Structure 1
Amino acid sequence: MTEPARYLGSGTITVDTSSLTGPRPSHLPARLTITLWDFSWYTRAENGGPYADLDAACAKAAELGYNTIRICAAPLLLFGNLGLDDLATDLDIEGLGKSPDGGIYGSATRWYDAPGGYRLNLRARLLELFAAAARHGLVVILASWEYQQSTVFAGSSRWFDAIDAVPLDERYRLLADAWDRLLTALTAAGHRDRIAMVELHNEVDFSILPALADGGTEQLHRLRKLHPDLLVTASYGKPPHLAMHTVPDGLGAAQFHVYSYGVLDALQRQIDIRSEGAAEFPNPALRALLRPGAPSVAEYGRLADWKYRATVVTDQMFYGYDWIDSDAWDTWLCNEYGPYREVMRREIESRVIAIAAWARWKGVPAVVGEGWIGYTPLHGTFEEGPIGRDLAERGIRTALDHGIWGMVLCSNAAPHHPMWADESWQRRMNALILDAPTS
């Protein structure tokens, strides 16, 4: 006689969490595999640059298995009614500017290594991007990085000055109005079904904006009512994983970012690279990691003053990342990683699970639009190498197990990063995502 299974409580009963956390628009892909093009699709469009040919860039993304690109659509510049129409159609892309050694500031940083030296019609380019995306079966997540860093790449401060002049308590309204006009323009051009999601702004918690609860939620509700067929939300750089109930209502999707800095944070604290204007910079720990012949801070010089106000990246980060010895940086991280390994793996898992649980509670689709380790020098390979790929795969598999609709493979898996060259890994991970069940 077989004895009945022993009952140990409801907490021991396995619950299937693999179904999607919330419904997606039926015309959009069953899963989103996202490559993060941010503002680089217009700031790295120089001759021979990764986005010089938008059709080729879209074709390559599709070939690697991606079906979604996430961009800064610059709504405030293009449709903010801020007197910037001439810039919208003739934008001077300068980058961070020329450095005293004859190069450019930001040459060894991610996202900021823009040589500039060209002009473009960004209003027309947005339509070109959507047309190219349509030809290659891609959908687009629209966001704005304007209150975080997009404006820093312009040749003058006009764009930044115009949005910075708007009082803090009016900025979400300004964004909502600009998005309404931009979405109307894209609809008139026949691209509405190409829009996967609209973010009021990227990382509202790390941008020059009030807390989302201080006026942003109201504007989200308004924009969602104006465009009820679209997923309208805002993204968080560091959602409150231990207190997700504090996320304000009104998000049409849970588009949250998952970074586990761990050992990277330990290095950043040791070399004091994220501070600003420190009196004793660089400290001895950072000096030990600099390339031979690195200039002093005074010799390195400074960007135009307005550019520091236009970005959340600090003067110490620009100097340190431009002159760090990438091999020494990677060696430090690899040597010290051991004690952080399980912490970082579990942190990624727990944050993904928290996001998914919140989205399931709210009945909205969940997306991880950025992740998994953090901001590293351009030529550092810690995140692109075996350790970083292991953490990324842990995040991707956890996301699939818990019903996350869309995800990046890694924030660095994009045409303007060296990781783009790792084609086999990207194809394998994208196939894993696209083949995963959704119900």
Structure 2
Amino acid sequence: MTERYLGSGAIPRDESSPTGPVPAHLPERLAITLWDFSWYTQAGPGEPYADLDAAVVDAAELGYNAVRICAAPLLLFGGLGLDDLAGALEIEGLGASPAGGFFGQRTRWYDTPGGFTIDLRARLLALFDAAERHGIVIILASWEYQQSPAFAAEPEWFETIDAIPLDARYRVLADAWDRMIGWLTTHGHRDRIALVELHNEVDFSILPDLADGGAAQVERLRTRHPDLVVTASYGKPPHLAMHRVPDGLGAAQFHVYSYGVLDELQSLLDIRAEGSEGFPNAALRSMLRPDAPTPEAYGRAADWKYRATVVTDQMIYGYDWIDETAWDAWLFDHYAPYEQVMRREIASRTIAIAAWARWKNIPAVVGEGWVGYTPLHGTFEESGIGRALAEHGIDTAIAHGVWGVVLCSNAAPHHPMWQQREWQRTMTARILAASAAAREPV
């Protein structure tokens, strides 16, 4: 019996080859751990990044070969008169609460007690030195128009960059990166740079649309440094209309989150809004810890800190005082109807990113994913369900030629998921073992 011909669309296509070329000195695949700004905001005594070399050794031991960070280019190389501040940056976090403890104490990424001072330029060089010793490459990004300055004790960093006119911010960022790249080159670390991102998640930062000057600045930086991969990242690229992404990017470093059941819970609790009448609502009150103070008793961080970050006071209160057991139980109980749509969404978004990158002949990277924002001690994404979703995303990325992929946004030293050691080793090995046939040098 002969096989029926069902049209060209029924013929399988192998798309596991790289979506686009990368510099020959860089790894064929990147297994990424997301250190964001936490590598300097959680660097006090006894904190995850107190010993920077030990943190790099630990990442390498788990099989990672790439670390993605906020390198604070505007603070360090922006030419904005912040050199003295960068040399003695006092880290405070969101500050102390009148109810005791500190704001963000159980909020993921914001659990920064502060109380120490760092020379951030010296620390950046120390990170690159450690990365060279242990075979790690660095993805450089900036979170400065999203949240990094909010962790400083004083508003100078934020107020200085906020004073830059909106239409000049991409240009100032590009100039800062140009100077930082030159500095790293002078120190012998140019080959450690895996990727330079003009800014993290430009669509969720205090920046214009990337098409309004940002892409042109990426192109200018690429022209000045043609041996490097230079781009900007999206938090939620237009997966259904990728033609809207402007030309000029050197990589498709886009993020893949499928909130699904998590979004349903967040909407129910009204936990990510601000200025909601009657906050906390009845649903949130029913899930708070027994010792939760009222929002009035808990207080708010300094006003400038909320202007310097994308989080809201309702988020900080809600994530600090939610009963994580109740939170997790709700997600587990309501997950089943969302499972298939979340899996499809993760796969389809990853495939869309890879297909766009292949069209543009540039490398694709998934630098963040997969489920979304949870309380620090919530375990949904760390559970078997969450890990299965992450594995689905990783496998899809590998099958479609994605160059670099994060295991999970929560797989980093400052998150509890870092303790899931064997799972991380298994996943990093899977990524690095993926074939990179037909890889071409730049």
TM-score, normalised by the number of residues in structure 1:
0.99
- Once the two structures are TM-superposed, the CA of residue 100 in structure 1 deviates from its matched residue by 1.2
Distance 1:77 1:227 in 2: 21
Q: CA deviation at 1:360?
A: 0.3
User: How far 1:293 sits from its partner (Å)?
Assistant: 2.0
> 1:191 matched to which residue of 2?
189
Give the aligned partner of residue 32 of structure 1: 30
In the other structure, the counterpart of 1:158 is 156
Deviating runs (4+, > 4 A) in structure 1? none
Letter in 1 for 2:429: A
Instruction: Judge conservation of contact 2:99–2:293 (CA < 8 Å) in 1.
Output: no
The Cα offsets for residues 366-419 of structure 1, whole Å up to 9 and x where unpaired, read as 000000000100000000001100100000000001000110000000000000
Output the CA distance in 2 between the equivalents of 1:368 and 1:296: 39
- What's the offset of the Cα at 1:189? 0.4
Q: What's the offset of the Cα at 1:5? A: 2.8
Give the counterpart letter for 2:301 in structure 1. L
| 1:414 and 2:412 matched | yes
Amino acid corresponding to residue 31 of structure 1 in structure 2: R
What amino acid sits opposite 2:224 in the alignment? Answer: L
Q: Indicate the residue corresponding to 1:222 in structure 2.
A: 220
Aligned letter for 1:436?
A: A
CA distance in structure 1 between the aligned counterparts of 2:222 and 2:353, rounded to whole angstroms:
21
Output the CA distance in 2 between the equivalents of 1:180 and 1:369: 22
SS of 2:196's equivalent in the other structure is strand
Offset at residue 24 of structure 1 (A): 1.1
- SS in structure 2 opposite 1:70? strand
Q: Of 163, 178, 181, which residue of structure 2 is paired with 1:180?
A: 178
Question: What TM-score, normalized by structure 2, do the two folds share?
Answer: 0.98
RMSD of aligned residue pairs (Cα, Å)? 0.6
Aligned position for 2:314: 316
Q: Which residue of 1 aligns with 2:337?
A: 339
Name the residue aligned to 1:251.
Answer: 249
SS in 2 for 1:170: helix
Describe the SS at the equivalent of 2:171: helix
Q: Say which of 90, 95, 98 aligns to 2:96.
A: 98
Cα shift at 1:4? 4.0
CA distance in 1, matches of 2:393, 2:294: 39
SS at match of 1:186: helix
Instruction: Give 1:306's match in structure 2, choosing from 297, 304, 307.
Output: 304
* Partners of 2:4 and 2:392 in 1: CA distance: 33
Identity, in percent, stands at: 73
Q: Which residue pairs with 1:364 in the alignment?
A: 362
Q: CA deviation at 1:195?
A: 0.2
**Which residue does 1:145 correspond to in 2?**
143
How big is each residue's C-alpha offset from its partner over 1:246-285, in whole Å with a ceiling of 9 and x where there is no partner?
A: 1000100000000000000000000001111112100000
Structure 1 distance, partners of 2:146, 2:3, is 56
2:57 maps to what in 1? 59
What is the distance in 2 between the residues matched to 1:368 and 1:233? 13
Are the counterparts in 1 of residues 76 and 82 from structure 2 also a CA contact under 8 Å?
yes
Q: Give how far 1:27 is off.
A: 0.5
CA–CA distance in structure 2, aligned partners of residues 387 and 43 of structure 1: 30
* Structure 2 equivalent of residue 327 of structure 1: 325
| Amino acid of the structure 1 residue aligned with 2:36 | D
| Post-superposition CA distance 1:225-258 (Å, at most 9, x none) | 1111000000000000000111000100000000
Structure 2 partner of 1:234: 232
TM superposition shift of 1:218: 1.1
Equivalent AA in structure 1 for residue 194 of structure 2: A
**Within-5 A mapping of 1:266-285:** 266-285=264-283
Counterpart code for 1:356 = A
Query: For 2:110, which of 87, 109, 112 is the aligned residue?
Result: 112
The CA deviation at 1:6 is 2.0
Structure 2 SS opposite 1:30: coil
Provide the C-alpha distance between the structure 1 equivalents of 2:279 and 2:430, rounded to a whole number of angstroms.
45
- 2:440 aligned residue: none
Q: Which amino acid in structure 1 is aligned with residue 105 of structure 2?
A: S
Code of the aligned partner of 1:51: Y
Give a deviation string over 1:405-438, Cα, whole Å, max 9, x none.
Answer: 1100000000000000000000000111111111
Alignment gaps of 5+ in structure 2: 438-442
Equivalent of 2:124 in 123, 126, 132: 126
Give the whole-Å Cα distance in 2 for the aligned partners of 1:73 and 1:159.
Answer: 14
One-letter amino acid of the structure 1 residue matched with residue 31 of structure 2: T
Q: Aligned-pair distance for 1:183?
A: 0.5
| Counterpart pick for 1:291 among 289, 292, 301 | 289
TM-superposed CA distance for 1:191, in Å, is: 0.2
Question: Structure 2 counterpart of 1:376, which letter?
Answer: T
The number of aligned residues is: 437
